[in-house]
Amino acid sequence: MIRIKTKEEIEILRKCSLLVGKTLAEVAKHLRPGVRTLELDTLAETFIRDHGALPGFKGYNGFPGTLCISINDEVVHGIPGNRVINEGDIVSVDCGTIINGYYGDSAYTFGVGEIDPEVKLLLQRTKESLYLGVQAAVEGNRTGDIGFAVQSYVERFGYGVVRELVGHGIGKSMHEKPEIPNFGKRGSGPKLKEGMTICIEPMVNLGRKEIIQLQDGWTIKTADGKPSAHYELEIAVGKTEADILTSYSEIEEVIKTYTIYG
C-alpha cells in the first residue's frame, strides 16, 4: 500500500533529508587521495549522532556501515573498510538518517582530483537526469514517467541504465512502495499523488547496463568494469512540481572549495 504523508510528516522527512545532505557535505570535506573509506564512515556516524539522529543504514538487513561507499565501477552498496581512495577515482556516497522514526536517504557521486573527462560527463549527465526525473514527479503522472525521463536522457549518450536496482517510496520504512525505476514508458506504473514521498536515484553506467554482485553479498559492480554514477534525492510529490526534501547546496559549496568534482 502506498501511504500519503501529512504535511507534518513531510516536515520530519525534510529534517531527516537535510541532515543527510549536511552529512554528505561533511564527508566531502575529508574526501581526498589517501583516505580510507572506513574513516569517512566513522566521521559520518559521529556527525549524524551528534545531530540527534541515528544512522539509517547501519544494521539495515545486516549492513555493517553508516555509508555505502562505491568506487569507480562499483554501482552501489560498497562496504566501508580499509580501501584507500585514489586521485582520479569517482566515489558514490549514499547515506541515510533516522529522526523520530522517519528516514532520510540521499546519494552523491564525487570525483576526486582530476578525473577522466568522459567520466566527468557521466557524472554531470546522471545528475541532470535526476532532475529531469524530479520534474516528472507531479500528481497525475505515473512512475513510468519518471523512469522515462531518466532513461530517455542518458541513453542518448550511449550509457546503460541499471534495471535491477530502483528508487523507492520512503517514510517510516526506508523502502516503501512504490518502486521508482530509472527506465520505463510514459503513462505506465502506479499513479503519483500529492503527498507521496519517494527517492529518485539514477544509477547510470558508462558502458552496458548489466551488473554483478560481489561475494560480500552487498557490493554491486558493472559487469563490464566501466564506471558508474549514482545520485539520489528524496522528494514529496506535488500538484504542479515536486518538493525536493534533500539539499545538495552544502555539498556543492564544499566542492567549490576542495579538489573534488560533483
Determine the pLDDT at residue 257: 84
Determine the pLDDT at residue 259: 65
Determine the pLDDT at residue 80: 98
Tell me the C-alpha distance between 134 and 106, whole Å.
Answer: 14
Residue 1 falls inside a structural domain: no
Q: What would the pLDDT profile of 14-30 be if each residue is shown by its tens digit?
A: 999 999 999 999 999 99
Determine the pLDDT at residue 261: 64
Residue 106 falls inside a structural domain: yes
Tell me the C-alpha distance between 234 and 13, whole Å.
Answer: 9
Q: Cβ distance 178 to 169 under 8 Å?
A: yes
DSSP codes, the chain: ---PPPHHHHHHHHHHHHHHHHHHHHHHHT--TT-BHHHHHHHHHHHHHHTT-EESSTTGGG---SEEEEETTEEE-PPPSSPBP-TT-EEEEEEEEEETTEEEEEEEEEEESS--HHHHHHHHHHHHHHHHHHHT-BTT-BHHHHHHHHHHHHGGGTPEEPSS--EEE-SSSSSEEEEE-SS--TT-SSBP-TT-EEEE--EEESS-S-EEE-TTSS-EEETT---EEE-BEEEE-BSSS-EE-S--HHHHHHHHHSSEE-
Tell me the C-alpha distance between 193 and 125, whole Å.
Answer: 28
Residue 120 falls inside a structural domain: yes
Share the mean pLDDT of the chain: 97
Q: What would the pLDDT profile of 94-125 be if each residue is shown by its tens digit?
A: 999 999 999 999 999 999 999 999 999 999 99
Residue 96 falls inside a structural domain: yes
Percent of the chain with pLDDT over 70: 98
Q: What would the pLDDT profile of 68-91 be if each residue is shown by its tens digit?
A: 999 999 999 999 999 999 999 999
Does residue 1 surpass a pLDDT of 90?
no
CA atoms within 13 A on the CB side of 115: 26
Does residue 258 surpass a pLDDT of 80?
no
Q: With bands split at pLDDT 50, 70 and 90, how would you rate the model's confidence at 58?
A: very high
Domain span including residue 124 = 7-261
Query: Could you tell me the three cell numbers for 16?
Result: 531527516
- Residue 92 belongs to domain with CATH number: 3.90.230.10
Determine the pLDDT at residue 137: 98
Residue 2 falls inside a structural domain: no
Q: What would the pLDDT profile of 142-199 be if each residue is shown by its tens digit?
A: 999 999 999 999 999 999 999 999 999 999 999 999 999 999 999 999 999 999 999 9
Average pLDDT estimate for 190-214: 98
Q: How many domains does the chain have?
A: 1
Q: With bands split at pLDDT 50, 70 and 90, how would you rate the model's confidence at 36?
A: very high
Average pLDDT estimate for 228-257: 96
Amino acid letter for position 178: P
The 10 Å Cβ neighbour count of residue 140 is: 12
Residue 175 falls inside a structural domain: yes
For 62, phi and psi rounded to 5 degrees?
90, 5
- Is the pTM higher than 0.75? yes
CA angle, 122 then 134 then 10, to 5°: 130
Cell 541532470 -> residue: 128
Nearest to 149 by CA among 165, 134, 133, 130: 133
